Structure 1
Amino acid sequence: MVDVYIDGASAGDPGPSGAGVFINYKNGQVENHSIPLGEMSNHEAEYEALIHALDLCLERRLSIVSFRTDSKLIDEAIEKRYVKNKRFQPYLEKALKRTDQFDLFFMKWIPSSQNKSADALARQAIQKNGK
């Protein structure tokens, strides 16, 4: 099983945003992805981080993944397969189409203190906007 840590960040709400994805293969191999997202809200950046991470895992043909996020919004949306705010419905639908392609998909909420790698990558991505 591969552990995938995700985070989205915005400098303003909305503002320049970025996604961070840290993939730990648990064999000594890791991947770091810092993805600039342009202008969006922090919640949108969190969803974008999730979708980018899912795409990366599917491209690598990973079948069993365990995702970690410090966003309760993301964790609850995936767990319940539901969002209250209809603005996020298209993001959830994209994400669920992808999660359903894995043999096993797990999502776990973790405190921010355990998500420092993905957070740093997301913050780096903010700086890449417009470059």
Structure 2
Amino acid sequence: MIEVYIDGASAGNPGLSGAGIFIKGNGVVERYSIPLGHMENHEAEYHALIKALEICIEKGYRVVSFRTDSQAVNRAIEKEYAKKGYALLLETALHLSRQLDLFFMKWVPSSENKAADELARAAIRKNK
């Protein structure tokens, strides 16, 4: 099973943002630091999830367990519902997740998501 740790971060709310994605499992360790431009923090969290799902699909990972420290994103995935401002992002994430054989999402405390957090913060600095 592949474990994917995701985090979105913003310098300000809204502000310059980034996605951090840390993937491990099956002898693989991958790190992604993706600048996202100007957006709100919750929006960055959803974009981190979407980018990570796209990477997993592209790499052919079929059984994937996601970890996030965003309670809002975790709840939205569990309930398949998000407030109007995030509904389209959630719909995109759910559509992508259904392309995997098994998709799990688990909330973890920030202390267990440090690798993704550091990658997200580095991505903020990559914005031009």
**Distance (whole Å) between structure 2 residues aligned to residue 32 and residue 61 of structure 1:** 17
In structure 1, the residue matched to 2:17 is: 17
In structure 2, the residue matched to 1:102 is: 100
Matched ranges for 1:53-64 at <5 A: 53-64=52-63
In structure 1, the residue matched to 2:73 is: 74
Q: Deviations over 1:34-90 (max 9, x none)?
A: 00000000000000000000000000111100000000001000011011x201011
Moved over 2 A (4+): none
In structure 1, the residue matched to 2:35 is: 36
Gaps of 5+ in 1: none
Please report the TM-score for the alignment, with normalisation by the length of structure 1: 0.96
**Distance (whole Å) between structure 1 residues aligned to residue 37 and residue 95 of structure 2:** 24
* CA RMSD in angstroms, aligned pairs only: 0.6
Please report the TM-score for the alignment, with normalisation by the length of structure 2: 0.98
Q: Which amino acid aligns with 1:6?
A: I
Q: Matched residue of 1:102: which SS? A: coil
Q: Which amino acid aligns with 2:21?
A: V
In structure 2, the residue matched to 1:86 is: 84
Gaps of 5+ in 2: none
